[in-house]
Amino acid sequence: MGSGELGVETVATVDAVDTRTRSAVITARAAATFEPVGRSVATARSFVRDTLQGWGFSDVIDDAVVLTSELVTNAVVHAGTAADVECLRSEDAVRIEVSDRYPEREIPLQQSSMNMGSPDREGGRGLQLCAALATRWGVDYTPTHKQVWFQLDLPHRSVGTRTAGPSLPADLLPIADGRVRVAVIQIDRLGAISAWNEDAEELFGYVAEQVMGKPLNDLAAWPHTPGTSTGIAEALQLSRWEGSYGVRNAHGRVVPVYASHLRVRDADGEPSTVCLLVRDDERAVLQTPLRGTAPEPGSLSEPHAADPFEVFIGSPAPDDLDGLLQRTVERARDMLDGDAAFLLLATDDETELEVRASTGLPSARQRFARVQVESAPGRYGSARMPAVHEDLTVVPGAVPLLSGTGMRSVVTVPLKVEGRLTGSLGVAAEASGRYSNEEALRLQFAADRIALAVESARLGELERLRRGSLSFLVEASDLLAGTLDRDQTLALMAQMTVPTLATWCAVYTIADQSAEPYLSYVLHEDEERIDGLKALLSKIAPPDPVPTPGARVWAAPSEAAHQAALRTSMRSLGLGETPGLGSGIGTTLSTASAVGGETVVLPLVARNRVIGMLTLGKPADEHFRQEILELAEDLSRRAALALDNARLYSERMAISQSLQRSLLPPGLPQVPGVEVDVIYRAAGEGNEVGGDFYDLFPIRDGAYGFAIGDVCGTGPEAAAVTGLARHALRLLAREGFGGPAVLERLNAAILDEGARSRFLTLLYGELWPQEDGSAVLKIVCAGHPLPLRLRQDGTVEPYAEPQPLLGVMEDLELYEQTATLDPGDVLLCVTDGVTERREGTRMLGDDGLADVLTTCTGLTAGAVAARIMRAVERFATDAPSDDMAILAMRVPGLQKD
């Protein structure tokens, strides 16, 4: 498909949403055609992703990639035709069209309902996904093409200056610890740093000379949580952008920052981006949330009734879930004059609550921790009802979240939407007896005001995570399916989980059911911690290979890290023994911090057998989100199958190569007075032997047998005939049979194989070195390319006559020819892969081989074979398509004193 409009020959259209044609002005267009091969699906995904990123449409990339993947798969895999993909950009939407050369035989009517099939089928899900994800979509038919298109509307982005906030009393202003440093960084049109102020040096430890001219990408550690699609390159192209990310400082640590980007251009029209950055906990310095337009002075409009939600949360409300939850706990704490507050959200089955926001508590340690909804019997034992605890020391463990925090009294209330538990909000104080039923009632009123908004924001976040997870799994499946190498599969498994799903990852493998789990791969997002992490995991027992699906918590790494850090700290203070200390306190404490959070284990189950475990970990006091664990479980299933496929492939390759090697002689014997050399090349990747074979072996005192042959075809059947021929030749020759008798009996043995038999061309001879320096040969050439003799004067001539090949006729009458190789003569034997080497319509042939051999006068047997092979390889640019064997024998003559 070119860049022109589609649908010129359209005879019918099926539009699942509306029948309007393109009404928006097309501002950009990108098109590509993909061949009907499996790898085209991944190429098409990359094309769409790169195109939309270049246009700044990062908000819809995940949906577009998933839909394109399904539609292109339908075209190139199921329909078996090439696929044309065209991306069209307008001001407020992007439209992607996928066409193939397989039109429907029947054109459905617009009024009839479309049967899109079962979602469980291997194919046919493309239209269902379009219906679920796209704003509009449709199908266009022509006599030769079918086109499926979908449109994704872009979310509205506010651009330009934001309004100022109201004046506030001093006690309500945000708090900043110490001096606030604002790093001012300017980025040129290519993404390189062109300005770097003193505050940037203080924040990140780099002087200007170290970073000038380098891409900001080299320093920015962008969040990789599924659902986060805006990258640094896209953010720098927006007219204005605000958000959080990380910057790696001069010591390799990630400094969380809040950034405000403004796109500007100089007097010459050159665009650049000015970035203002502060520490993330000082974001109030730069954060400018949207605010409603203030009424004009003197306006006579009646004041509207205050929204209860805005009364509690304040205006404007944060537009992201984390911001809304954090604002909620801060307002709840202030409302009840508490020392701490926390908010938990319920899982889908309402059996657990997950910590999502807190203030006044060690939030890093508690974030994403999970507690049971029904924690204990009695009035205050359920999160479904308001609860007041006047003194937590009287009821230890009543609120597990507050254990060890010093809080004495707490009030908790449920968040409910239409009677369904969606979360829990609590406020705590360090003094006992601070709260009563009156405070619980006030807090419940506040929870009722914000419950619907929180649930709506949570569902929006889950939808973004779901779409990001779907895109992540599509990419992961494609990567895992692209390799059959075990080590590369292990590396891919770890690299896909770190840092997307976890801070660190370890993969254990199990060779067989009786073997112990083996630590095969370790990865941490900070490369400096990999060695310490590997050493720590090597000293503890691996997790049990339990086949039960799902993630289970593994406490051993965290406990071992804490114990090692404690011992190291005591030794550094002179309180313990120091012999055997292998690392400094810094390394041990660093490792303890790296694995001190939650660690989970997911079984790698393939073909009803546990073949390993995928271990994921968080740094100190962090927990996994339930959505991340579910995504990791999906990934582990795909990774287990890929790892087992790689294992099976490696085992079968090892067996195949072992069997192939058995078809060739282990080595060539030393023949007195004769130089012998062999070059063998098997066609195809991973092959050590094919249908061609050779052999040289002693028959009796002073006599040697040699053979070179070519079995028709390839594969196991040809290999079976190869093995039969080589071993039969040795056995029959050593039993005293002459050349014709040996070949006649081999012919009978091949015919006895029946349907598995293959015809065989074979050159067999017997060699007797003589005392005068010559060698006597007896040769039978059964359908094989004739051997060539090179004399000392440079002349080349055939050294035998052709006879019938083996494996075709039952009654063969073969005869042998006797000749003598004089001192200095060379006998060259090859298979037809040498003489039939082609370049287009040209073929090397017997004459071409003879011409090359004439240039080999005076060379050793090894040099002759090497020169012939070089000439054959240089004759054509393509890799050889047939096996090749070269056997060169030279009689050097008697050495004079």
- Per-residue pLDDT reduced to its tens digit, 846-860: 899 999 999 999 899
**CA atoms of 142 and 9, how far apart (whole Å):** 6
Lay out the sheet containing 796-798: strands in order across: 675-681, 884-890, 826-830, 788-790, 796-798
Residue 381: CB atoms within 10 A of its CB come to 16
Report which of residues 112 and 469 the model is more confident about: 469
Residues of the chain with pLDDT > 70: what percent?
A: 80
Q: Is the pLDDT of residue 308 over 70?
A: no
Average pLDDT over residues 98-117: 56
Q: Is the pLDDT of residue 344 over 80?
A: yes
| pLDDT tens sequence across 737-747 | 988 999 999 99
Which range among 5-14, 246-255, 645-654, 708-717 shows the weakest confidence by mean pLDDT?
A: 5-14
Identity of residue 784? H
Report which of residues 623 and 366 the model is more confident about: 623
Residue 455: CB atoms within 10 A of its CB come to 19
Report which of residues 189 and 363 the model is more confident about: 189
Structure-block tokens of residue 346: 């319920």
| pLDDT tens sequence across 150-165 | 999 887 655 444 444 5
Long-range contacts of residues 577-585, Cβ cutoff 8 Å, at least 24 apart: 582/535, 583/532, 583/535
Mean pLDDT (the chain, rounded): 79
Helix axes 626-662, 486-497, angle to 10 degrees: 170
Element (H, E) at 420: strand 420-429
Report which of residues 117 and 616 the model is more confident about: 616
Q: pLDDT value at position 379?
A: 41
796 within 8 A of 789, measured Cβ to Cβ: yes
Average pLDDT over residues 497-514: 86
Lay out the sheet containing 775-782: strands in order across: 692-700, 703-711, 760-769, 775-782, 817-821
Q: pLDDT value at position 701?
A: 80
Q: Is the pLDDT of residue 444 over 60?
A: yes
Q: pLDDT value at position 859?
A: 92
Average pLDDT over residues 650-667: 76
For residue 766, which of 699, 825, 812 has the smallest C-alpha distance? 699
Report which of residues 662 and 146 the model is more confident about: 146
Helix axes 321-335, 437-481, angle to 10 degrees: 160
- Tell me which range, 197-201, 401-405, 683-687, is most confidently predicted by mean pLDDT: 197-201
Band of residue 377 on the pLDDT scale cut at 50, 70, 90: very low
Q: Is 512 exposed, middle or buried (0-12, 13-18, 19+ CB in 10 A)?
A: exposed
Pairing of strands 271-279, 409-417: unpaired
Cα angle 264-270-275, degrees, rounded to a multiple of 5:
35
Residue 106 to residues 70, 111, 115, 481, Cα–Cα distance (Å): 22, 15, 13, 35
- Tell me which range, 314-323, 374-383, 793-802, is most confidently predicted by mean pLDDT: 793-802
Which range among 228-237, 477-486, 630-639 shows the weakest confidence by mean pLDDT?
A: 228-237
Q: pLDDT value at position 293?
A: 41
User: In which residue are the tokens 């007797």 written?
Assistant: 768
Average pLDDT over residues 456-485: 82
Average pLDDT over residues 551-578: 72
| pLDDT tens sequence across 576-601 | 544 443 444 445 666 666 677 788 89
Structure-block tokens of residue 670: 């030393």
**CA atoms of 225 and 471, how far apart (whole Å):** 12
User: In which residue are the tokens 């597990």 written?
Assistant: 400
Residue 143 to residues 35, 75, 82, Cα–Cα distance (Å): 21, 16, 16
Identity of residue 111? Q
Which DSSP string do the residues of 502-554 spell out, in sequence order? -SEEEEEE-SSTTSPPEEEEEEESSGGGHHHHHHHHHTSPPPP----SS-EE-
Q: pLDDT value at position 315?
A: 57
Q: pLDDT value at position 572?
A: 63
Band of residue 303 on the pLDDT scale cut at 50, 70, 90: very low
Q: Partners of 769 in the beta sheet?
A: 775
Which alpha helices (H) appear in 138-284, and where do they start and end?
198-204, 208-211, 232-237
Which range among 301-315, 379-393, 425-439, 628-642 shows the weakest confidence by mean pLDDT?
A: 301-315
Pairing of strands 240-248, 220-221: antiparallel
For residue 729, which of 657, 800, 665 has the smallest C-alpha distance? 665
Q: Is the pLDDT of residue 58 over 80?
A: no
Residue 377 to residues 349, 798, 851, Cα–Cα distance (Å): 20, 101, 98
In eight-state DSSP terms, residue 297 is: T
Report which of residues 680 and 222 the model is more confident about: 680
For residue 502, which of 632, 664, 380 has the smallest C-alpha distance? 632
Band of residue 310 on the pLDDT scale cut at 50, 70, 90: low
| pLDDT tens sequence across 761-772 | 999 999 999 888
Report which of residues 570 and 154 the model is more confident about: 154
Average pLDDT over residues 413-433: 89
Q: pLDDT value at position 66?
A: 82
Which DSSP string do the residues of 764-826 spell out, in sequence order? EEEEEE-TTS-EEEEEEEESSPPPEEE-TTS-EEE-S--BPPBSS-S------EEEEEPTT-E
Q: pLDDT value at position 861?
A: 92
Q: Is 295 exposed, middle or buried (0-12, 13-18, 19+ CB in 10 A)?
A: exposed
Q: pLDDT value at position 275?
A: 92
**CA atoms of 243 and 892, how far apart (whole Å):** 82
Report which of residues 541 and 316 the model is more confident about: 541
For residue 273, which of 330, 320, 317, 220 has the smallest C-alpha distance? 220
Q: pLDDT value at position 166?
A: 56
Average pLDDT over residues 320-346: 85
675 within 8 A of 860, measured Cβ to Cβ: yes
Q: Partners of 761 in the beta sheet?
A: 710
In eight-state DSSP terms, residue 135 is: S
Q: pLDDT value at position 86?
A: 94
Q: Is the pLDDT of residue 641 over 50?
A: yes
What is the chain's length?
897
Element (H, E) at 586: helix 585-595
Q: pLDDT value at position 762?
A: 92
| pLDDT tens sequence across 674-728 | 999 999 887 765 555 567 889 999 998 889 999 999 888 766 677 778 888 888 8
Residues in Cβ contact with 339 at an 8 Å cutoff, skipping those fewer than 6 apart? 333, 360, 407, 428, 429, 430
Q: pLDDT value at position 764?
A: 94
Q: pLDDT value at position 108?
A: 44
Q: Dihedral of CA 752/758/762/764: which sign?
A: negative
Average pLDDT over residues 1-16: 37
Q: Is the pLDDT of residue 451 over 50?
A: yes
Q: pLDDT value at position 878?
A: 81
Q: pLDDT value at position 177?
A: 64
Average pLDDT over residues 353-359: 84
For residue 829, which of 893, 759, 890, 743 has the smallest C-alpha distance? 890
Average pLDDT over residues 515-533: 87
Identity of residue 123? G
Average pLDDT over residues 253-282: 85
How far is C-alpha 662 from the chain's CA centre? 38
How far is C-alpha 856 from the chain's CA centre? 52
Q: Whole-prediction pTM value?
A: 0.52
